[in-house]
């Protein structure tokens, strides 16, 4: 098993969904999944703002990644392909310093 492979992560999350029957029990409902992701973002924020150990932050970020992969499963889209398509778009974008921090976006200058 190549533990650095997206395919292996996808297989593991798919098995987790099957084990707990997510498709049949509401675990793949999108509004619910978004609420879970928001909850995980709150836990990530707490790790950062409260200065928790990096292991705690890593665990919370892993929870979010698992939820994101599960959302791709539930939404029936190829997250791997979506990632690379988005990276291609991001690579073409410009960056700007905004309030002392770098930002990469599709800037729309308003007149």
- What is the residue-wise DSSP string for 60-110? HHHHHHHHHHHHHHHHT--HHHHHHHHHHHHHTSEEEEETTEEEEE-----
pTM summary value: 0.87
**What pLDDT sits at residue 4?**
84
pLDDT higher than threshold 50 for residue 111: no
Q: Is 34 helix (H, G, I), strand (E, B) or coil?
A: helix
At the top level of CATH, which class does the domain 6-79 belong to?
Answer: mainly alpha
**What pLDDT sits at residue 109?**
73
Q: Are 64 and 41 in contact (CB under 8 A)?
A: yes
């Amino acid at each position: 098993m190549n533990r650095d492979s997206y395919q292996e992560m996808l297989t593991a999350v798919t098995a987790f969904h099957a084990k707990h029957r997510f498709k049949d029990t509401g675990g793949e409902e999108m509004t619910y999944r978004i609420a879970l992701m928001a909850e995980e973002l709150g836990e990530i924020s707490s790790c950062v703002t409260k200065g928790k150990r990096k292991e705690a932050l890593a665990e919370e970020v892993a929870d979010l990644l698992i939820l994101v992969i599960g959302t791709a499963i539930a939404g029936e889209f190829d997250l791997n392909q979506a990632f690379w398509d988005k990276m291609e778009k991001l690579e073409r974008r410009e960056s700007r310093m905004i309030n002392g921090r770098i930002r990469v976006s599709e800037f729309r200058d308003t007149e």
